[in-house]
Structure 1
């Protein structure tokens, strides 16, 4: 899979004509060269349902008079640019109006994405309908007639559906359609059948052709779904609602799966479907660098104008990022991430049954990753199937219930010398009555006060001695053999109609509410949902408490650096080339408009200090791709160096013997 890809959308209404009249082979090639592009995903079928080539399995767009797909593939291949082919699988608005009975329906018989045909937008198809055979015929036609370098199928996944086909299927199998768990088994089978049929169709024509099914998110803990693809494409447009924290969380999980993957951002100021929107070149430089720093290849989304003319401003913008990636590829292929810590993803293990309140707990994973990034901790994001022994510390974020299989795996991990950092509900048994792991405390139940206060028993790096407000739900404890690192303090009372004080919450009563942070032989337990709290409130005390705990559990970190909080650091190993590659990134996203995060100015940093512990004798250190030798010292297994200047992204390479 190539490093510098473009994902070219072309969702074009039949109300626009003519189509593609300004397409020019030479201009198309010039723009790919300007963008330093080595792979471009071109289109067979769009969300409107039209084909952009002659077709018996579909209908060519009424405004198109030639084979645009063939022309794009020919032009790209002539200059050694690969061409995966896109088909809109889940959406086909042309067909939706002819066969609305094949659409996904909710319990109230409402369609999605839009609720009816008087709203502008698309309607999603159920794969448990005759539509699947039509889609398979379209796929077969494309891979048979065209020299496609892969197939990209969009808007698919395990979908909740109560259409008449799904209801009838459930009843034939003796299931009650009112039982959502029973229906979920049907929806899972529907998606698995779809992916299997697609693979069978493609393999019958071009064995080994790459296939990716895009659902907008790679669900952590669902390796079965991930492995229905030949590779992964992590859709993560920071300005499109994902934000800049989303990609590191997804990438740190995807790289552990051992498959090729890429990070997909966009050239847009906002998101898909935006004509005339451009982000600053520095934003794309940073986003592309973030991909390769996390072991991924790169993809940048664009949308072609209906006239088929490639936009020069777009490819100059993309070229600003991809010219840098092109020079860095040699140090970014076949890499393995080096990590001290693993975050056992809450998405992968599920929310503790006793803590369910109908709300998403995705904030816990996000808050944990943000702390780890800011604390410059080397980490992976893992599921329960992963090998825990590869890590010095395992984090259980906020809501992880310890069932018997997980308890057995954790006990083995602890016997091998691993340590746990658990927070909030994590560590409790599924009944929520006692700890499944000995953290040196006795569980007394959910703390009745919310919010309440934490008084650390240790010095903080940035804050003085105080009682700090913790907004999230906490657990009440009694010490039982552990060492108290900080205590809880109760407020005078909860804020209610007849007992409230000031504008927000009641101050601390200074009464000792029991242990709030405890250390034992198993690790450290913090009694609040601190990661969820950090994602929502961002209080400095939350991060400083967690990083203090990790400092105790990780006395010999693999990497330490003076890089500021907003910087990102990773350490990738190219084992076959006997080298470690330290990636350092720095940019400061700001919010503009209605919550849009943008990067514009890149502020250079000078004399960034780094120390890397490695058992391998390092023979040289240099900056890449500049190939500038870097002075270093080696003492007691730690290689230390100073990066003289960091502008957006810098790689430091350590060749070892």
Structure 2
């Protein structure tokens, strides 16, 4: 898979004439060269349902009078650029109007995504309907007639559908079509059948041709859904609602799956379909570097104008990022991450459970990743299938009660010398309010006061000796075999119409409600949902509690220490014969209604790094500059200093 891809959207209404009228092979090639692009996803079929080539399985766009797809493939291949081909699988508005009986239907009647056809939007198809055969014929036609370098299928995933086809299937099996569990199980089978049929259709013509099924997200804990793909494309447009924390969370999970993967961002100021919207070149430089630092290749989303001419401003923008990336590729391919910590994803935990048991909190993963990035900890995001033996600490964030299979897995991890950090209700048994591991505490129950306060027994950078408010639900514990790291203190009373004080909540009474953070033989417990709290409120106290706990649990075995600021990102990859230390610095700012943008990239000076590595380092240099970098080995660690960098710097350590 290539490092420098463009995803060239082309969702084009039948109301627009002159489709492709300004396409030029020379101009198309000029744009790709200007953008340093070596792979471009081009369109066979868009969300509106039209083909962009002569078709017997579909209908060519009424405004197009030549084979645009074929011309794009020929032009790209002539200059050595690969061409995966896109087909909209889940949306086809042309056919939605002709065959509404093929659409996904929600429980409360009406079709999804919209209840009617009065709004300007697309409608979702059910793959348990005759639509699947219609789609398969289109895929087969492309694979047979065009030199595609892969197939990209969009708007797919497991659906819960109550259409006539799904209802009849359940009734034929003697199941209740109003039983949510039965509907969900059928949705799983329908999606599995779709991916199987697609693979078979492609392999009959071109065995092994890469295919990717895009659902906009790689669900943590559902490896079965990931492994139907030849590779993974992690859709994550920071300005499109994902934010800059989303991609590292997704990448740190998929990097252990053994699949090639790329990070998909966009050239847009906002999100897909924004004509005339551009982000600053520095933003793309940072986003492409962030992908590289997380072991990913890159894809940048663009949308082709209906007339087919490539926007050269877009490709100058893309070239600003891809020109730099091209120089770095030697140190980016075939790498594996180095990690001390395993974050057991809350989403993966939910996927692991067979039922709705467990308190699932979507903010827990986001808050944990943000803390770990800002603290420059080396970590992976893991699921119940991950091998934990390579980690020193496992984090159970906020809501992960312990079922027998998980207790067995974590028990083996503890026996191997690992330790656990748990918070909130994590670490309690699934079926009883008792800790499954020795955190030095005995569980009492939920604190009746919200919010309440934490008074730490340890010093914290940037904070002082006082009591700090925490807004999430507190859990009360007593000290058992371990030690307290700080106490929980309660307010005078909860805020009600009858009892309230000041503008928000009641002040700290100073009365202790027992330990708020404890340490035992198996690890450390924090009595608040600190990870989701950090995602929602961002208060420094939550992060400092977690950092103190992790530093205690890692002891002197922390692989990476650095003076890089909290907004910087540091990762460590291993390539054959060498380590690659990535240092990034770019600060997103909020614009408009909460859009995160990067505009300024300022030089960073005097960044010190200390690495504890299992191999002796023989040589260090900056990449891609290839400038030798002095280093010293002291106390079993390698130490060096990067005098200055802007945006992204790699340090290569050969062993």
Give the shorter-chain TM-score range.
over 0.9
Residues 1:203 and 2:203 aligned together: yes
The whole-number CA distance in structure 1 between the counterparts of 2:552 and 2:436 is 22
Match of 1:488 in 2: 488
Secondary structure of 2:143's aligned partner: helix
Match of 1:283 in 2: 283
Cα offset, 1:358, TM superposition: 11
The whole-number CA distance in structure 2 between the counterparts of 1:157 and 1:330 is 35
Match of 2:18 in 1: 18
Secondary structure of 2:32's aligned partner: helix
Residues 1:431 and 2:403 aligned together: no
Which deviations, in whole Å up to 9, do the C-alpha atoms of 1:505-554 show, x marking residues without a partner? 11111011011100011010001100000000000011011101111011
The whole-number CA distance in structure 1 between the counterparts of 2:105 and 2:410 is 42
The whole-number CA distance in structure 2 between the counterparts of 1:211 and 1:39 is 15
Match of 2:51 in 1: 51
Match of 1:567 in 2: 568
The whole-number CA distance in structure 2 between the counterparts of 1:205 and 1:487 is 67
The whole-number CA distance in structure 2 between the counterparts of 1:460 and 1:447 is 25
The whole-number CA distance in structure 2 between the counterparts of 1:232 and 1:432 is 39
Cα 1:335–1:351 shift into 2, 3 Å: closer
The whole-number CA distance in structure 2 between the counterparts of 1:530 and 1:395 is 12
Match of 2:233 in 1: 233
Q: How many residues align?
A: 653
The whole-number CA distance in structure 2 between the counterparts of 1:261 and 1:542 is 32
Secondary structure of 1:308's aligned partner: coil
Contact 1:57 1:137 (8 Å CA) reproduced: yes
Structure 1 window deviating more from structure 2 (290-299 vs 436-445): it is 436-445
Match of 2:604 in 1: 605
Match of 1:62 in 2: 62
The whole-number CA distance in structure 1 between the counterparts of 2:307 and 2:359 is 45
Runs of 4+ in 1 over 3 A off after TM superposition: 355-360
The whole-number CA distance in structure 1 between the counterparts of 2:190 and 2:351 is 25
Cα offset, 1:636, TM superposition: 2.7
Cα offset, 1:114, TM superposition: 2.5
Cα offset, 1:107, TM superposition: 1.1
Contact 1:439 1:524 (8 Å CA) reproduced: yes
Contact 1:352 1:399 (8 Å CA) reproduced: no
1:75-474 aligned at under 5 Å gives the runs: 75-350=75-350, 361-474=361-474
Cα offset, 1:500, TM superposition: 1.1
Contact 1:624 1:651 (8 Å CA) reproduced: yes
The whole-number CA distance in structure 2 between the counterparts of 1:234 and 1:141 is 27
Cα offset, 1:315, TM superposition: 0.2
Cα offset, 1:360, TM superposition: 6.2
Cα offset, 1:356, TM superposition: 8.1
Unaligned runs of 5+ in 1: none
Structure-1-length-normalised TM-score: 0.98
The whole-number CA distance in structure 2 between the counterparts of 1:308 and 1:536 is 44
Match of 2:547 in 1: 547
Cα offset, 1:115, TM superposition: 2.4
Residues 1:629 and 2:628 aligned together: yes
Cα offset, 1:357, TM superposition: 11
What is the RMSD computed on CA atoms of the aligned residues?
1.3
Secondary structure of 1:390's aligned partner: coil
Cα offset, 1:352, TM superposition: 11
Cα 1:337–1:103 shift into 2, 3 Å: same
Cα offset, 1:432, TM superposition: 4.0
Secondary structure of 2:389's aligned partner: helix
The whole-number CA distance in structure 1 between the counterparts of 2:109 and 2:652 is 58
Secondary structure of 1:498's aligned partner: coil
Match of 1:558 in 2: 559
The whole-number CA distance in structure 2 between the counterparts of 1:351 and 1:169 is 25
